[in-house]
Amino acid sequence: MAPLICGGMIVDVLLPSAVFLITLTVVFVHTKFHGRFRSFLGERQLRLRDVILLVAAMSILVAVLVFLPSIAIIVVFLYVYSTVLFLFTYILIPKYHLAVLTPAIFIALYLLYRGTLWWNLYLFNLFAVIFSVLVSVYMGNLFSWKTTTLFVALLTIMDIIQVFGTKFMVAYGEKMIQLSLPVVIILPTFPSQIGFMVLGLGDIFLAGLLSIQTTQKFGKRFGLVCVTSIAVVFMILEMVLLNLEVWFFPATVMVLTGWLIALGARQLYKLRFSEL
């Protein structure tokens, strides 16, 4: 089938819609269960030094995973995903047998259906969404507004270097897709049918973290404005890049731009309101 071009331009609303819905889910789950996570984590929060070390570790991990044997990557990812599923389930339902059941189901489905039509079309994206929501909600409780701003800046710089400089981020994503590991979301473009778009879970985590912190600082209403702004700006920039035939781009820049536009609009509104 020939690509469907809308009015001479390539348009995709499916991936931005997914970003909006997933980020909105992250904010909702965090708001609803914030008390349980706070009681579990206590008053522990990341310091500025911890944030620097975290971004450095993430950068090194991406580079290392590109060169690791496939079986080692599979083992590491299954362990990490299972741990996250166990912790999240135990926090919500403090029963050990139920907490063990959720990671067991994931591992069984991955081993049984990996490479099949069911995994590629449905389960892959399902577990990618679940993982992004769980990590965003869990990690969102460890950040403050101050550490979030530093983390966002460092992560965006790292992402730009890894995409355009070393190109490790691109190689990392391709390798994970080959191993059928749900660390990215893969969706077809719609309404323009030109192929598939891939978005890393780190980008969704960033959108969720920014929306959580914005909601906590400025309230639920502006939190929704932030989520909407990120999705709308993401759609606009994605459309520009697609029509320029730019196929690899650090999505953290798109998420950060949407967030900054929301904050800028709020500041302008406050200035205008004070003048009136």
pLDDT of residue 93: 87
Q: Does residue 152 fall inside a structural domain?
A: yes
If 0-12 CB within 10 Å is exposed, 13-18 middle and 19+ buried, where does residue 236 land? middle
User: Does residue 274 register a pLDDT over 80?
Assistant: no
User: Does residue 260 register a pLDDT over 60?
Assistant: yes
pLDDT of residue 1: 30
Q: Does residue 269 fall inside a structural domain?
A: no
How does residue 4 score in pLDDT terms, banded at 50, 70 and 90?
A: very low
SS3 185: strand
Q: Does residue 271 fall inside a structural domain?
A: no
Q: Does residue 5 fall inside a structural domain?
A: no
pLDDT of residue 147: 96
Structure tokens at 253: 């820049």
User: Does residue 183 register a pLDDT over 50?
Assistant: yes
Q: Does residue 165 fall inside a structural domain?
A: yes
> What percentage of the chain reaches a pLDDT higher than 90?
80
Average pLDDT over residues 198-204: 94
Q: What is the DSSP letter of 9?
A: B
Domain holding 79, by residue range, is 24-183+197-220
Q: What is the DSSP letter of 116?
A: S
Average pLDDT value for the chain? 92
User: Does residue 8 register a pLDDT over 80?
Assistant: no
pLDDT of residue 44: 83
How does residue 256 score in pLDDT terms, banded at 50, 70 and 90?
A: very high
Residues 132 and 21 sit within 8 Å (Cβ to Cβ): no
Residue, of 205 and 7, whose pLDDT is higher: 205
Block residue for tokens 């355009």:
164
CA distances (Å), origin 255, targets 131, 172, 231: 19, 20, 8
Q: What is the DSSP letter of 246?
A: -
Q: Does residue 42 fall inside a structural domain?
A: yes
Residue, of 102 and 272, whose pLDDT is higher: 102
Average pLDDT over residues 231-241: 96
How does residue 35 score in pLDDT terms, banded at 50, 70 and 90?
A: confident
How does residue 236 score in pLDDT terms, banded at 50, 70 and 90?
A: very high
Q: Does residue 120 fall inside a structural domain?
A: yes
How does residue 97 score in pLDDT terms, banded at 50, 70 and 90?
A: confident
If 0-12 CB within 10 Å is exposed, 13-18 middle and 19+ buried, where does residue 196 land? exposed
pLDDT of residue 43: 76
How does residue 275 score in pLDDT terms, banded at 50, 70 and 90?
A: low
Q: Does residue 160 fall inside a structural domain?
A: yes
pLDDT of residue 5: 42
Average pLDDT over residues 88-107: 91
Q: What is the DSSP letter of 189?
A: -
Average pLDDT over residues 18-24: 97
User: Does residue 204 register a pLDDT over 70?
Assistant: yes
Which residues make Cβ contacts (< 8 Å) with residue 207, sequence separation at least 6? Answer: 19, 22, 23, 26, 227, 230, 255, 258, 259
Average pLDDT over residues 154-161: 96
CA distances (Å), origin 54, targets 116, 139, 151, 154, 194: 35, 12, 9, 10, 37
Residues 38 and 141 sit within 8 Å (Cβ to Cβ): yes
Structurally, how many domains does the chain consist of? Answer: 1
